[in-house]
C-alpha cells in the first residue's frame, strides 16, 4: 500500500547517502595528504588498546583513567572557587551549565498546554473528568482483567487494590467489555481499569473513563511487585497524595487528568503516602512511596563554633526526609487515546501511535 511518495522519498535518501559517501571519500583523501605532513605526530600517540601486553595495557589504562579523574576534580574545584570569588566580590555568579539531554532538547511543538488560556480553562470545567476532579465526586473504580489471568496478574491486581482507594475487583468471566461498561455505568462507577495479561505477565493496561470516556490504552512494562522490592513498606489505608509530573502537551495533560480522575481529590496527609506518575520521554513511571520527616537538632562536629553562635538566636530544627518505597513499580507507555468509551470498530481516536510518527528520537507527544 506504499504510495509514490514513499518511494520517491527513498530515492532521495539514497541520493543523499551517495552524496555523503562521495563527500566522505573526499575527506579521506584530504586526511591522507594530511598524514603525509603530520604523520610522525599521529604515530607517536599510543592508545592503551594498541598495547599487546595485558599487564602493561591495564597499567597504562589505569594511569590514564586516574589522570582524567584528577583533571575533572581540578576543573570542578576551579568552578567552585570562581563561584566563591564571585560571591565575595559581589559580582555576577557564573552561569551553571546544564547538561544537554534528549529530553531538554526535544523538538519544539506548539501544542503546549497553557493553564491561563481561556479555552483551556473552559475545557477544564467541562471535560469528562471535571465531575471527579473539579466537583468532588467520589471516584469508584472497577478493576478487571482479560479472560485468562494467572500468576503475576492477580498479584498485581491485589496491589492495585491497595493503591487505588474505593476500587473493586470483579472477575472477568466471559463478558464482553462493552457489556461490562454498560453495567458499570448503571452502578455509578467512574472508571474501569482492565489489566491485560499475556503469558502470565501483565503487559497492558486499559483505563476507561465513565460514562463518556476517554479510553487510554497503555503498554505496561518493567513491573516489579512489592515483595520483590528491597526494604519495601506496607501502605496504610489512607487516601494517597498524587504527583503528576511533566505532562506538558494538551495530550499529556489529558492523560494526566485521566490518571488523576482515578484517585480521590482529598488526600489524607496523615497517611504520608504518595503516588507518583512521572512522565519522561513519553514513558510514564509509576512509583508509590511513604515518607517521613525527622526533626533533628543540628549536631555536626565541624560546626561547633557556628552552633555556639546559633544557640543564641532562634534555632531551626534540621529536617531529614526519609522515603520508603512500597511498590509496585511499573512503566506505562501510551499506545492510543480513544474518544468515548471502549469501541474498537465504531470508535474515534484522539491519538494513536503509528510507526511513521517516530521520525526523531527527540519527538515526544506527552
Partner 1 sequence: MPRTIASECPGCPSIRALTTDEIGRIKVIEARGKISIPKMVEAWGDPDYNRHIYLASFANRERDPVLAVARKNKEVELINPLTGDVIAVKNIGEDPLGALHLFTSRRSNSRSNTLLMCTEKGKASLQSIQVCDGISANTVFLKQWDVCNAGKVECSSVNGSENYALFAGKGIEVNFWDIEKNEKIWTAKSPKSSNLGIFTPTWFTSATFLCKDDHRKFVAGTNNQQVRLYDISSQRRPVITIEFRDKIRSIAEDTDGYKIYAGTSKGELAAFDMRTGKLLGSFIGKCSGSIRSIARHPEQPVLVSCGLDRYLRFWNTNTRELLSSVFLKQNLTNVVIDPHFSGEEIAVNTVEKTMLTGQLIDGNEVEIGGESSIKTKKTKSKFKTIKHTKEELEPEHKRRKKRVAEE
Measured distance CA(48)–CA(42) in Å, rounded: 15
Q: Residue 110 or 297: which CB sits closer to partner 1? A: 110
Determine phi and psi for 10, rounding to 5 degrees.
-60, -45
Residue 32 C-beta: closest distance to partner 1, Å: 24
* Residue 102: CB minimum distance to partner 1, A: 8
Q: Closest CB to partner 1 among 300 and 356?
A: 356
Rounded CA-CA distance 143/200 in Å is 17
Between 88 and 118, CB nearer to partner 1: 118
d(CA 174, CA 166): 24
CB of 348 to partner 1, least distance (A): 4
Q: Choose between 30 and 118: whose C-beta lies nearer to partner 1.
A: 118
| Closest among 169, 146, 147, 140 to 157, alpha carbons compared | 169
Closest contact distance (angstroms) between CB of 366 and partner 1 is 12
Reference 177, options 195, 162, 156; nearest CA is 195
Closer residue to partner 1 (CB): 41 or 126? 126
The rounded distance, in Å, linking the Cα atoms of 175 and 146 is: 10
For binding to partner 1 (CB under 8 A), which residues are involved? 1, 3-6, 102, 107, 110-111, 117-123, 125-126, 250, 339, 345-354, 356-357, 359-362, 365
C-alpha cell of 44? 607517536
Q: How far is the CB of 328 from partner 1 (least distance, A)?
A: 30
The distance of closest approach from Cβ of residue 127 to partner 1 in the complex, given in angstroms and rounded to an integer, is: 8
201-209 vs 241-245, strand pairing mode: unpaired
Task: Pick between residue 123 and residue 241 the one whose CB is nearest to partner 1.
Answer: 123
d(CA 271, CA 235): 8
CB atoms within 10 A of CB 57: 15
Cis upstream peptide for 214 (omega within 30°) = yes
Q: How far is the CB of 196 from partner 1 (least distance, A)?
A: 20
CB atoms within 10 A of CB 247: 21
Given phi > 0 = left and psi -120 to 50 = alpha, else beta, which region is 174? alpha
Show the cell assigned to 194.
482492565
Considering the complex, state which of residue 33 and residue 359 has its C-beta at the smaller distance from partner 1.
359
Amino acid at each position: 500500500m506504499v504510495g509514490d511518495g514513499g518511494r520517491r522519498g527513498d530515492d532521495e535518501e539514497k541520493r543523499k547517502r551517495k552524496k555523503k559517501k562521495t563527500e566522505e571519500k573526499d575527506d579521506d583523501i584530504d586526511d591522507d595528504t594530511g598524514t603525509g605532513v603530520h604523520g610522525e605526530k599521529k604515530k607517536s600517540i599510543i592508545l592503551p588498546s594498541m598495547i599487546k601486553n595485558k599487564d602493561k595495557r591495564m597499567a597504562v589504562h589505569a594511569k590514564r583513567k586516574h589522570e582524567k579523574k584528577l583533571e575533572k576534580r581540578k576543573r570542578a574545584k576551579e568552578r567552585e572557587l570562581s563561584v566563591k570569588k564571585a560571591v565575595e566580590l559581589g559580582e555576577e555568579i557564573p552561569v551553571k551549565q546544564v547538561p544537554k539531554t534528549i529530553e531538554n532538547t526535544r523538538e519544539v511543538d506548539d501544542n503546549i498546554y497553557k493553564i491561563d488560556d481561556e479555552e483551556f480553562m473552559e475545557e477544564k470545567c467541562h471535560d469528562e473528568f471535571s465531575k471527579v476532579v473539579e466537583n468532588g465526586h467520589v471516584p469508584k473504580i472497577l478493576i478487571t482483567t482479560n479472560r485468562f489471568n494467572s500468576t503475576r496478574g492477580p498479584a498485581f491486581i491485589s496491589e492495585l487494590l491497595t493503591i487505588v482507594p474505593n476500587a473493586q475487583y470483579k472477575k472477568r468471566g466471559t463478558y464482553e467489555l462493552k457489556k461490562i461498561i454498560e453495567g458499570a455505568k448503571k452502578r455509578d462507577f467512574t472508571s474501569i481499569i482492565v489489566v491485560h495479561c499475556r503469558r502470565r505477565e501483565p503487559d497492558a493496561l486499559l483505563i476507561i473513563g465513565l460514562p463518556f470516556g476517554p479510553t487510554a490504552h497503555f503498554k505496561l512494562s518493567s513491573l516489579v511487585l512489592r515483595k520483590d522490592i528491597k526494604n519495601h513498606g506496607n501502605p496504610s489505608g489512607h487516601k494517597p497524595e498524587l504527583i503528576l509530573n511533566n505532562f506538558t502537551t494538551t495530550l499529556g495533560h489529558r492523560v494526566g487528568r485521566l490518571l488523576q480522575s482515578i484517585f480521590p481529590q482529598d488526600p489524607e496527609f496523615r497517611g504520608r503516602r504518595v503516588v507518583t506518575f512521572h512522565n519522561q520521554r513519553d514513558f510514564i513511571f509509576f512509583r508509590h512511596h511513604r515518607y517521613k520527616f525527622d526533626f533533628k537538632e543540628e549536631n555536626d562536629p565541624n560546626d561547633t563554633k557556628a552552633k555556639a553562635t546559633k544557640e543564641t538566636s532562634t534555632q531551626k530544627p534540621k529536617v531529614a526526609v526519609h522515603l520508603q518505597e512500597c511498590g509496585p513499580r511499573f512503566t506505562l507507555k501510551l499506545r492510543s487515546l480513544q474518544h468515548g468509551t471502549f469501541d474498537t470498530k465504531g470508535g474515534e481516536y484522539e491519538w494513536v501511535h503509528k510507526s511513521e510518527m517516530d521520525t526523531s528520537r527527540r519527538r515526544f507527544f506527552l
